[in-house]
Amino acid sequence: MDDSAFRQLKESQYYHPILTEVMFDHDMMLEMVVHSMTIVKKGYDTVWDSNMINFNSRYFTDGIAFVEKLVREKGIKLRLIVEVTKENIDFINSIRSHEIRCLSDINGNFGIFDNRAYMVYIFHTKSDRPDQTLWSNSKALVDKQQSIFNKLWEMAIPLAIRRKEIEYEDKTNTQRTITEYDNILSEIESLVLTCKKELIFFSSNRILCSTLNMSKFMNYFPLLIKKHVMIKILTDNVDEYLIKEITEFNKSNPANAIQFGYTDKLGDLDEMTIISDNKYLLHIQSGHDNKLIATFSNEGHNVLVQQIMFEKHWNEVMSLEVIKNN
């Protein structure tokens, strides 16, 4: 892109001329980014890979501060998809202006403003700055890029969930007690939201329904189903309202239905166990004055014991169902 074309684009607020070109001038690229932020009307949608994270954390912190100022003044909406790791989470946490969601294994980056134009930043091997930038305001190409972003956005998880995942990953072989009711509900929601493969509830009907009434964590189940997470619930009694909710949910998701069972052979069960991905365990029971006390653990032995106990009762219930149906 030459200076004349760049000047025409700025004067027309990037509507004209219609171009799809490569920029080699690093300063021109930065000027275009900053200038486009001053005229944006709706917002910016951006995907960063590791190269862009490194570049922004080293060379564009002033630009990020400028963007945050514009957000406060103009009320524009900024959405960012990024791969968050232990190594970069502090920098990502410092970005206050964006709504951030996270994906793994991002390879490539781009930015779109107002569904008007987009840029793709090209890094060569061992380069810490973009060597080239592909820029386009072609409506057909911008619409395709926006469609890609929207699909990625639906797949991505909120930053708050990724923070919790990193916390779980970082603290191996730990066990802690949780006594405050709100903190117990928060831990349940975290386990539900961070689950990737299998989520198990092994519970007294009383505690399960009590926590459901307060936290509504079943509202997150559609998100888990989208991620193909298997959900199993085993209780000690029948709750007609709960069965109705699960049945209605399964009607809309027949391909990956919630599996539910109950048995009266658990004795005086007054506790709930939640197991996420065979890695994380939350055991909740009634203490004095019927107050709930929870223990979180990611110690392999503790998780395995509870997993075996669940599988024993679950297999018995499923076997009886087979016999009944025959």
Domain architecture of the chain: domains with CATH: 3-159 (3.30.870.10), 171-325 (3.30.870.10)
Question: 200 with 274: CB under 8 angstroms?
Answer: yes
181-194 vs 205-215: helix crossing angle, rounded to 10: 90
Nearest-CA neighbor of 83 among 59, 118, 54?
Answer: 54
**Sign of torsion over alpha carbons 191, 192, 198, 204:** positive
DSSP 201-253: EEE-HHHHHHHHHHH-GGGGHHHHHHTT-EEEEEESS--HHHHHHHHHHHHH-
pTM of the model: 0.74
Q: Pull the structure tokens for residue 95.
A: 């970005």
Separation of first and last alpha carbons in the chain: 73
CA distance 6 to 36: 12
Integer Rg of the chain from CA: 25
Alpha helix positions (H), the chain:
3-11, 26-39, 50-59, 61-74, 89-93, 139-155, 159-170, 181-194, 205-215, 221-226, 240-252, 300-325
User: For residue 193, which phi and psi values (nearest 5 degrees)?
Assistant: -70, -30
Instruction: Tell me which residue has tokens 């219930």.
Output: 317
pLDDT in tens, the chain (326 residues): 888 988 999 999 999 999 999 988 888 888 888 888 888 888 899 999 999 999 888 888 887 888 888 888 888 899 999 999 999 999 999 998 899 999 988 988 999 999 999 999 988 877 788 888 999 999 999 999 999 999 999 889 899 889 988 888 777 778 889 989 899 998 999 899 889 999 999 998 889 888 888 877 888 888 888 888 999 999 988 788 888 888 888 888 777 789 998 887 766 778 999 999 999 999 999 877 778 999 999 998 899 999 998 998 898 887 766 555 54
